[in-house]
Amino acid sequence: MGYASLVPVISFGENEHYRRYKNWISNRWTWGRSIIGILPLRHPVTTVVGKPIHVNQIIDPSQTDIDQLHDQYLQAIEQLYDTNKANYGLEHVKLKII
Protein backbone atom coordinates (compact mmCIF):
# COMPACT_ATOMS: atom_id res chain seq x y z
CA MET A 1 0.00 0.00 0.00
CA GLY A 2 1.36 3.41 -0.93
CA TYR A 3 1.55 6.51 1.18
CA ALA A 4 -0.74 9.44 0.57
CA SER A 5 -1.07 12.93 1.94
CA LEU A 6 -4.30 14.68 2.83
CA VAL A 7 -4.75 17.77 0.71
CA PRO A 8 -7.11 20.50 1.92
CA VAL A 9 -9.30 21.73 -0.93
CA ILE A 10 -12.13 24.26 -0.89
CA SER A 11 -14.27 25.62 -3.72
CA PHE A 12 -15.74 29.10 -3.93
CA GLY A 13 -18.90 29.83 -5.94
CA GLU A 14 -20.74 26.54 -5.51
CA ASN A 15 -23.53 28.14 -3.47
CA GLU A 16 -24.38 30.45 -6.37
CA HIS A 17 -25.47 27.65 -8.72
CA TYR A 18 -29.02 27.57 -7.38
CA ARG A 19 -31.34 30.24 -6.06
CA ARG A 20 -32.46 29.83 -2.49
CA TYR A 21 -36.09 30.54 -1.71
CA LYS A 22 -37.66 30.75 1.70
CA ASN A 23 -40.83 29.21 0.36
CA TRP A 24 -39.27 26.66 -1.98
CA ILE A 25 -42.47 24.70 -2.55
CA SER A 26 -44.22 27.55 -4.38
CA ASN A 27 -41.07 28.34 -6.36
CA ARG A 28 -39.86 24.79 -6.95
CA TRP A 29 -39.96 25.16 -10.72
CA THR A 30 -37.47 28.04 -10.90
CA TRP A 31 -34.47 26.98 -8.82
CA GLY A 32 -32.04 26.74 -11.68
CA ARG A 33 -31.89 27.96 -15.28
CA SER A 34 -34.58 25.75 -16.74
CA ILE A 35 -38.29 25.46 -16.22
CA ILE A 36 -37.95 22.54 -13.84
CA GLY A 37 -34.73 23.74 -12.21
CA ILE A 38 -32.53 20.81 -13.18
CA LEU A 39 -29.75 22.87 -14.73
CA PRO A 40 -27.72 25.01 -12.34
CA LEU A 41 -27.25 28.72 -12.87
CA ARG A 42 -24.09 29.74 -14.67
CA HIS A 43 -21.56 30.91 -12.14
CA PRO A 44 -17.81 30.34 -11.97
CA VAL A 45 -16.47 27.94 -9.37
CA THR A 46 -12.89 28.37 -8.21
CA THR A 47 -11.15 25.56 -6.36
CA VAL A 48 -8.26 26.44 -4.06
CA VAL A 49 -5.76 23.77 -3.06
CA GLY A 50 -3.75 23.98 0.15
CA LYS A 51 -0.49 22.45 1.26
CA PRO A 52 -0.51 18.65 1.63
CA ILE A 53 -0.63 17.23 5.14
CA HIS A 54 1.80 14.35 5.52
CA VAL A 55 0.18 11.25 6.98
CA ASN A 56 2.30 8.66 8.73
CA GLN A 57 1.14 5.14 8.01
CA ILE A 58 -0.23 3.54 11.17
CA ILE A 59 -1.38 -0.06 10.86
CA ASP A 60 -3.89 0.16 13.69
CA PRO A 61 -4.57 3.86 14.41
CA SER A 62 -6.15 4.79 17.71
CA GLN A 63 -9.12 7.12 17.93
CA THR A 64 -6.70 9.77 19.24
CA ASP A 65 -4.55 9.41 16.11
CA ILE A 66 -7.61 9.81 13.91
CA ASP A 67 -8.92 12.79 15.89
CA GLN A 68 -5.55 14.57 15.74
CA LEU A 69 -5.32 14.17 11.97
CA HIS A 70 -8.95 15.23 11.56
CA ASP A 71 -8.35 18.36 13.65
CA GLN A 72 -5.24 19.17 11.63
CA TYR A 73 -7.20 18.80 8.38
CA LEU A 74 -10.07 21.01 9.61
CA GLN A 75 -7.60 23.69 10.71
CA ALA A 76 -6.00 23.60 7.25
CA ILE A 77 -9.43 23.97 5.59
CA GLU A 78 -10.31 26.91 7.86
CA GLN A 79 -6.96 28.59 7.17
CA LEU A 80 -7.38 28.07 3.43
CA TYR A 81 -10.86 29.60 3.57
CA ASP A 82 -9.81 32.57 5.71
CA THR A 83 -6.82 33.28 3.47
CA ASN A 84 -8.90 33.28 0.27
CA LYS A 85 -12.43 34.38 1.20
CA ALA A 86 -11.85 38.10 0.47
CA ASN A 87 -10.89 37.23 -3.12
CA TYR A 88 -14.43 35.94 -3.68
CA GLY A 89 -16.46 38.59 -1.83
CA LEU A 90 -16.92 36.53 1.32
CA GLU A 91 -14.91 38.58 3.80
CA HIS A 92 -18.00 38.91 6.02
CA VAL A 93 -18.85 35.18 5.93
CA LYS A 94 -17.58 32.82 8.61
CA LEU A 95 -16.95 29.24 7.58
CA LYS A 96 -19.22 26.77 9.32
CA ILE A 97 -18.19 23.13 9.10
CA ILE A 98 -20.96 20.75 10.12
pLDDT digits 0-9 by tens, 8-59: 999 998 776 666 666 555 555 554 555 555 666 777 889 999 999 999 888 9
Q: How confident is the model at residue 87 (pLDDT cuts 50, 70, 90)?
A: very high
What pLDDT is recorded for position 45?
85
Domain boundaries, the chain: 9-88
Q: Among 60, 52, 58, 50, which residue's Cα sits nearest to residue 82?
A: 50
* DSSP assignment string, 46-72: EEEE---B-----SS--HHHHHHHHHH
* Residue 5 CB coordination number (10 Å): 9
